[in-house]
Structure 1
Amino acid sequence: MTWWSRPTTFSRSAAVLSLVSVAALLAASFATSAPVTRVDELSVTRTDIYVDSPAMQRTIRVHVLHPEHSSPRPTFYLLDGNEATFEQSDWIAKTDIVDFAATKNVNVVLPAGGEGSYYTDWQQPDPEFGVYKWETFLTEELPPIIDSYFNGNGRNAIGGISMGGQAAFTLTARHPGLYRGVVAISACPLVAPEPYQDSVRAGIAYRGGDATNMWGPRNAPAWFEHDPAQNLDALRDKPLYLYAGNGTPGRYEQQFDDDTQATIVVGGPIEAAALACSTDFAARLTAGGITPTVDFRPSGTHSWPYWRDALRSAWPIVEAAVGQ
């Protein structure tokens, strides 16, 4: 497996400059806590890097969608949902995020992996998932790499779908100085109160993990420490976006084949639950003097076509957060 590759469409001069920059990245990154061991320059606006994470005890593939120019720019970290795999971000595999991001003056950073993780530091290794230290990776190991080698200017926002949207709020509440805004799409930001704690446990169990290895037994302190509603002050004065459909079939369920039927049967109830939780969380924000942007739709299931559209609707919030 090569540590560096480039598209054959690059010109000779561009290839030489690219090779120099990649070599510099690799050499310099070994001075950081999490070295970059491989770089794939897939186009002038997409680079995949492979980061050896001491915290995670494994190599993490990270897709970086970036402007072609080298001027400083902000960064938007975008997380997957409960079914995330280490092979490739679902945002890459299931949406047009590569083309969408190519028109933006923002680094869009998409880590691959995190199945059932809630992108948090688990208290102990899990028999199914192994060592999960996603909070450390996302907040300590990865940002210096993005800022140093992809011209990040330190103005960051974070978002995600479903589990990743919840994690975006938790990470911001725990690291308010790192993230200036949050986008949560079809997510349930609340994790500590019932019935939300049961929902988290069930989602992790569905992927084969044990949530007790994450934040301890039921109602242990860590569940409340990771619930963003317990630290609303950390979210104050930040642009916040909450999206959810109501679970009923919408524009993407007009053709009733087997796949669509499965989306309705499974994705409908999940999305309805996300709406109920997001509505509850929005009310808690409002009661705390924080006004989020809510985008609650009269239809739509828990599925990628809606999430692709929701990201477009959320983009002004991202730009407002990072100062674009």
Structure 2
Amino acid sequence: MRRTPVAVAVLTVALALVGPAVIGPAQASAAQIERVDNLTPTRAAVFIDSPAMGRTVQVQVLHPAGGGPRPAYYLLDGLDPGTSQSTWTNATDAERFFAGANVNVVLPVGGEASYYTDWQRDDPKLGHYGWETFLTEELPPLIDTRFNGNGVNAIGGLSMGGNAAFILAARNPWLYRAVAGYSACPDTGLAMGAVMFSIANRGGNPINMWGPPGSPAWAEHDPALLAERLRGKTIYLSSGTGIPGPHETEIKPQLAENIFLGGPVEFGVNACVVSFEQRLRGLGIPARVDYSATGTHSWSYWQDTLHASWSTIAPAIGA
């Protein structure tokens, strides 16, 4: 497992924060839809009683008004997701973009600093996370039954959600035909320090997720080590360089944050994407990787790459 100086520093702090007793992996059992609120003719809020999560979980679904069986695109949020709706629908034009497309776009709500995985321990700040079991075992049959799905899936996400999309695809290769990461680093070993820092920065204990760095679970959630399992899938990745680009001229409240925080973050992501692409090429696994000469870690660029990626993802799932 690769190490970084940041990983060592974060580990030193995190080891002092070890949480409550280890819990067993969540088991998918009688997950069921509690209710569906039809927000518009093509957007629904679905509330699911999830044994894996130990609570009711909301997902929102963008879907055609009618039509025959269709695939699903699971689209994951970032480190600070929306609490009442996915940030994809309030920070981008995703709802309008997918209008009329022959696909169910499934948008989980919540999951702050979760990496959409099953945590080994409940976290005093973040709570109980059984996201992998929920997303891969409980949710798909419910979505397909309720929204006329055909069992064909893709998964994608931005930043943390993009990391998670590659982890889920590598760990559950039978479930997805395509995987996409928008400004995401799908190399858990290389990103270890950033992953641990991001969780600790939100008040969580990163040790509660997969144990201390070097534990087997970290390798078991590393797409770079599991890359062979991605063979045969359609793969999309995108990254900017951190250099301010055209969207930084837009008047937005988060403009300074995009430049002074989103710039360095995207610079680091870019290095990781280059490394991961080289890993795939070395294995002879094709991928579409869109590099931009500019662009920070911010929503306007993710909207652009969501649009750009669809011409790759849609044919892979027959959308």
Is the TM value for this pair above 0.5? yes
Are 2:292 and 1:312 equivalent residues in the alignment?
Answer: no
For residues 267 and 98 of structure 2, the distance between their equivalents in structure 1, rounded to whole angstroms, comes to 29
Question: Of 162, 170, 185, which residue of structure 2 is paired with 1:165?
Answer: 162
For residues 267 and 189 of structure 2, the distance between their equivalents in structure 1, rounded to whole angstroms, comes to 19
Are 2:75 and 1:78 equivalent residues in the alignment?
Answer: yes
Task: After TM superposition, give the deviation of residue 139 of structure 1 in Å.
Answer: 0.3
For residues 38 and 252 of structure 2, the distance between their equivalents in structure 1, rounded to whole angstroms, comes to 39
Residue 15 of structure 2: aligned partner: none
For residues 304 and 76 of structure 1, the distance between their equivalents in structure 2, rounded to whole angstroms, comes to 19
Superposed, 1:232-247 pairs within 5 Å as 232-247=227-242
For residues 135 and 257 of structure 2, the distance between their equivalents in structure 1, rounded to whole angstroms, comes to 33
Are 2:180 and 1:174 equivalent residues in the alignment?
Answer: no
Report Cα offsets for 1:290-316 as digits up to 9, x if no partner: 011010100000000110111000001
Task: After TM superposition, give the deviation of residue 37 of structure 1 in Å.
Answer: 1.2
Question: Of 276, 284, 288, which residue of structure 2 is paired with 1:281?
Answer: 276
Task: After TM superposition, give the deviation of residue 320 of structure 1 in Å.
Answer: 2.3
Residues 46, 222 of structure 1: alpha-carbon distance in 2 compared, 3 angstrom cutoff: same
CA contact under 8 A between 1:192 and 1:219: conserved in structure 2? no
Identity %: 52
Residue 110 of structure 1: aligned partner: 107
Question: Of 266, 284, 291, which residue of structure 2 is paired with 1:296?
Answer: 291
For residues 312 and 221 of structure 2, the distance between their equivalents in structure 1, rounded to whole angstroms, comes to 23
Residue 245 of structure 2: aligned partner: 250
**1:154 aligned partner, one-letter code:** G
Deviates more, 1:170-179 or 1:246-255: 246-255
Question: Of 88, 96, 100, which residue of structure 1 is paired with 2:97?
Answer: 100
For residues 33 and 313 of structure 1, the distance between their equivalents in structure 2, rounded to whole angstroms, comes to 38
Question: Of 222, 230, 248, which residue of structure 1 is paired with 2:225?
Answer: 230
Are 2:148 and 1:151 equivalent residues in the alignment?
Answer: yes
* Structure number with higher relative contact order (C-alpha < 8 Å, ≥ 6 residues apart): 2
**1:55 aligned partner, one-letter code:** A
Report Cα offsets for 1:238-275 as digits up to 9, x if no partner: 11001010001111112577631221001000111111
**2:230 aligned partner, one-letter code:** L
Question: Of 187, 192, 197, which residue of structure 1 is paired with 2:192?
Answer: 197
For residues 264 and 201 of structure 2, the distance between their equivalents in structure 1, rounded to whole angstroms, comes to 16
**1:167 aligned partner, one-letter code:** A
Partner-residue secondary structure (3-state), 2:73:
strand
Residue 140 of structure 1: aligned partner: 137
Question: Of 56, 59, 62, which residue of structure 1 is paired with 2:56?
Answer: 59
Task: After TM superposition, give the deviation of residue 103 of structure 1 in Å.
Answer: 2.4
For residues 142 and 265 of structure 1, the distance between their equivalents in structure 2, rounded to whole angstroms, comes to 38
Residues matched between the structures, number? 291
Report the TM-score, using the length of structure 1 for normalisation.
Answer: 0.87
Partner-residue secondary structure (3-state), 1:230:
coil
- 4+ runs of 1 displaced by more than 6 Å? none
Partner-residue secondary structure (3-state), 1:228:
coil
Residues 76, 258 of structure 1: alpha-carbon distance in 2 compared, 3 angstrom cutoff: closer
Report Cα offsets for 1:104-124 as digits up to 9, x if no partner: 111000000111000000001
Structure 2: state its 5+ residue gaps: 1-28
For residues 102 and 258 of structure 1, the distance between their equivalents in structure 2, rounded to whole angstroms, comes to 28
Residues 234, 157 of structure 1: alpha-carbon distance in 2 compared, 3 angstrom cutoff: same
**2:179 aligned partner, one-letter code:** V
Question: Of 33, 37, 40, which residue of structure 2 is paired with 1:36?
Answer: 33
For residues 286 and 174 of structure 2, the distance between their equivalents in structure 1, rounded to whole angstroms, comes to 19
Tell me the C-alpha RMSD between the 2 structures: 1.3
Partner-residue secondary structure (3-state), 1:164:
helix
Structure 1: state its 5+ residue gaps: 1-31
CA contact under 8 A between 1:60 and 1:86: conserved in structure 2? no
CA contact under 8 A between 1:285 and 1:292: conserved in structure 2? yes
**1:52 aligned partner, one-letter code:** D
Residues 319, 257 of structure 1: alpha-carbon distance in 2 compared, 3 angstrom cutoff: closer
Residue 219 of structure 1: aligned partner: 214
For residues 255 and 286 of structure 1, the distance between their equivalents in structure 2, rounded to whole angstroms, comes to 37
Are 2:47 and 1:50 equivalent residues in the alignment?
Answer: yes
